[in-house]
């Protein structure tokens, strides 16, 4: 169990170093509706591709892991290649390919050498356009998800997070307890997977980023070539309920085998396109970002409580939230919960001064820069922002947004979130 969210030594170095200006981003939309973001980084020695599909929690409204299952079947048989041929092509293109689903959506990433860029993009394009969801791939994916479900059910962090999201967003797909999806997963068929694929894996829901030693002109030619026929017949979709937070604070206690207790609080947060998103990132840093945060000072330094603690803002298509947690000896659980409540309330009662606010702004900005260290990560964030109303340029602009956050902004976000708090306490069973 761990609640420490940031590699503090590396982050401290980043906080002291001035940010290097990023190369310009080229953005455009293909005729089929796919949005693209390209960043040429000469001399990078690598090319990273990330395709994002906006099919997260809303694509799995029943919590059956259907969207996860569909994602894991993308690189099976397709109309042009068998599964074996697909993976030979992946290996030839560099082999470093990942395909994951989360409440945020689907992320397909590949890092390769610049000379293999077109080969890698072709494999990704075939998965997005022509996957057949063969029976063997569906069965194998079910087995893999089953293993993940059992691991999550034994992980206090995963259990607490699932319960807290359910309490915070009780009437939204983002609150579905997918950690308990065993029975629903077993009932899913290939027909269900195909329906999910045809409904959600659509060009207008797709954004693709290319970062590295590939020119924008070359990347654009390849995208236009491989995605010219990315079309889907219209498929009616059920409307997705807005991820509205609960009407009041909620608390749940869960007993499970563990040597420690975990106290976790979730607070609703503004969406990335909101003017208050940067304030939410700063609020998370004030709460639990590093040794200068209020959680560290009031839990660890003042009371000596907490093996691990921290806070971060987890953002997605909807259902954005701040999570703050502390792992502590079972005997200190009640005291840890009391202090954590005081820290959250204290940000409204005792707004940060300029020095504390500046530390938090620098921490939030540095943490975001740290998440861009690898070329794969830079492609991921570009694709993620390209799928929002702000566009990929918002990725580079976020640091400037954070630098303008005021104490009043932080207090406004904290006050709006405070009445919707979801608390989960996971502790060992009582003897």
SS (H, E, C) 158-208: HHHHHHHHHHHCCCCHHHCCHHHCHHHHHHCCHHHHHHHHHHHCCHHHEEE
pLDDT of residue 7: 43
Who's near 32: CB < 8 A, 6+ residues apart? 203, 227, 228, 229, 230, 231
**H helices of 300-374, where?**
302-303, 333-349, 354-370
Q: Where in the chain is the domain with CATH 3.30.830.10?
A: 25-226, 250-427
- Smallest CA-to-CA distance from 112 within 21, 211, 23 is with 211
pLDDT of residue 430: 81
CA distance 231 to 254: 47
From first to last of its 431 residues, the chain has per-residue pLDDT tens of 444 443 443 444 445 455 556 678 999 999 999 999 999 999 989 999 999 999 888 899 888 999 999 999 998 877 777 878 877 887 777 778 899 999 889 999 999 999 999 999 999 999 999 999 999 999 999 999 999 999 999 999 999 999 999 999 988 888 888 888 889 999 999 999 999 999 999 999 999 999 999 999 999 999 999 999 998 876 666 555 567 777 677 899 999 988 899 999 999 999 888 999 999 999 999 999 999 999 999 999 999 998 999 999 998 777 899 999 999 999 999 999 999 999 989 999 999 999 999 999 999 999 999 999 999 999 999 999 999 999 999 999 999 999 999 999 999 999 999 888 899 999 999 87
Beta bridge partners of 415: none
CB 179 within 8 A of CB 161: no
Who's near 316: CB < 8 A, 6+ residues apart? 56, 57, 102, 103, 104, 105, 174
Choices 3.90.380.10, 3.30.2320.50, 3.30.830.10, 3.40.50.920: CATH for 250-427: 3.30.830.10
pLDDT of residue 318: 77
Choices 3.40.640.10, 1.10.10.60, 3.30.830.10, 3.40.50.300: CATH for 25-226: 3.30.830.10
pLDDT of residue 18: 54
3-state secondary structure at position 274: coil
Q: Which long-range contacts (CB under 8 A, 24 or more apart) does 214-223 make?
A: 214/38, 214/40, 214/47, 214/114, 214/117, 215/40, 216/26, 216/38, 216/40, 218/117, 219/36, 219/38, 219/117, 220/26, 220/28, 220/36, 220/38, 222/117, 222/118, 222/121, 223/30, 223/34, 223/36, 223/121
Record the pTM: 0.90
């Amino acid at each position: 169990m761990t609640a420490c969210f940031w590699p503090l030594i590396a982050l401290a170095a980043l906080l002291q170093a001035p940010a290097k200006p990023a190369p310009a981003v080229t953005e455009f939309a293909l005729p089929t509706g796919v949005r693209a973001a390209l960043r040429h980084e000469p001399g990078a020695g690598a090319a990273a591709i990330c395709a994002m599909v906006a099919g997260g929690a809303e694509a799995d409204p029943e919590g059956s892991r259907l969207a996860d299952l569909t994602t894991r079947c993308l690189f099976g048989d397709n109309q042009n290649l068998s599964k074996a041929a697909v993976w030979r092509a992946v290996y030839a293109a560099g082999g470093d390919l990942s395909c994951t689903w989360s409440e945020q959506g689907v992320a397909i990433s590949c890092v390769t050498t610049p000379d293999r860029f077109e080969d890698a993009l072709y494999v990704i394009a075939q998965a997005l356009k022509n996957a057949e969801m063969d029976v063997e791939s569906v069965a194998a994916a079910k087995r893999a998800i089953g293993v993940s479900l059992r691991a999550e059910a034994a992980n206090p962090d995963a259990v607490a997070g699932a319960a807290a999201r359910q309490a915070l967003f009780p009437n939204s797909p983002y609150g579905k307890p997918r950690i308990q999806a065993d029975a629903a997963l077993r009932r899913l068929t290939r027909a269900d997977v195909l329906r999910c694929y045809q409904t959600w894996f659509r060009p207008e829901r797709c954004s693709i980023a290319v970062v590295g030693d590939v020119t924008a002109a070359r990347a654009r030619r390849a995208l236009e070539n491989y995605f010219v026929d990315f079309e889907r017949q219209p498929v009616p979709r059920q409307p997705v309920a807005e991820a509205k937070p609960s009407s009041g604070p909620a608390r749940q206690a869960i007993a499970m085998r563990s040597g420690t207790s975990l106290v976790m609080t979730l607070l609703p947060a503004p969406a990335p396109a909101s003017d208050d998103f940067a304030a939410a990132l700063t609020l998370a840093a004030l709460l639990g970002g590093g040794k200068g945060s209020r959680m560290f000072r009031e839990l660890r330094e003042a009371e000596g409580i907490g093996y691990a603690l921290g806070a971060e803002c987890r953002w997605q298509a909807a259902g954005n939230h701040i999570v703050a947690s502390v792992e502590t000896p079972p005997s200190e659980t009640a005291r840890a919960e009391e202090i954590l409540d005081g820290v959250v309330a204290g940000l409204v009662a005792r707004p940060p001064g300029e020095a504390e606010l500046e530390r938090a702004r620098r921490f939030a900005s540095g943490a975001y820069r740290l998440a861009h260290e690898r070329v794969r990560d830079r492609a991921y964030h570009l694709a993620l922002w390209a799928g929002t109303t702000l566009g990929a340029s918002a990725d580079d602009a976020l640091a400037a947004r954070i630098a303008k956050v005021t104490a009043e902004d932080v207090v406004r976000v904290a006050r709006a979130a405070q009445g919707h708090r979801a608390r989960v306490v996971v502790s060992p069973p009582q003897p």
